[in-house]
Amino acid sequence: MKLTRKEIDKIIDEIYKLSSCNPTAEEVFSLENKVLELDNAELSFFFAKLIPLANIKKHQEVVLKSKEPAWCYRFATYVQGADIIALTNVVLESKDPLYNLLCARDIPQIMPEFDIVPFEDVILELEDSKWSIQFLIVKGARVELHNNIINAKGKQKRKSIFR
């Protein structure tokens, strides 16, 4: 069922209200069942992030099934107990440059052994100086490869001026 922005916001408000009080287990499970039935990655992210009694695995399934790199990145980054590898694999498969960059920048802070190379390769494959410049902020970036892209694009622009 496709929810409107207004419906999503209303449920997020319910989640925030529940997180700001001392809810009973019954109240938590009642709202959790409603959220899980709606099968919405955004709602599952907020529920898992804000409600300590949340069933992380069930909400993660919803997020993974959505294949939305934004929610997978957020879930991996902000939800304790998340399967970071499974979530970041969805980001990697999406080839979305922004979320691949963010994963390479942020996930090693949570998981120091995280390999940024596949995420960097997504950026390098674009051969876009804008993304290579931005990737240079990532600790462990292969600077020389990005500089080659940045310099190659600059030379192409200069040549076209003199034609």
Q: DSSP string of 75-106?
A: HHHHSTT--HHHHHHHHHHHT-HHHHHHHHHH
Query: What pLDDT, on a 0 to 100 scale, did the predictor assign at position 58?
Result: 98
pLDDT in tens, 1-13: 689 999 999 999 9
pLDDT in tens, 27-71: 999 999 999 999 999 999 999 999 999 999 999 999 999 999 999
156 pLDDT above the threshold of 60: no
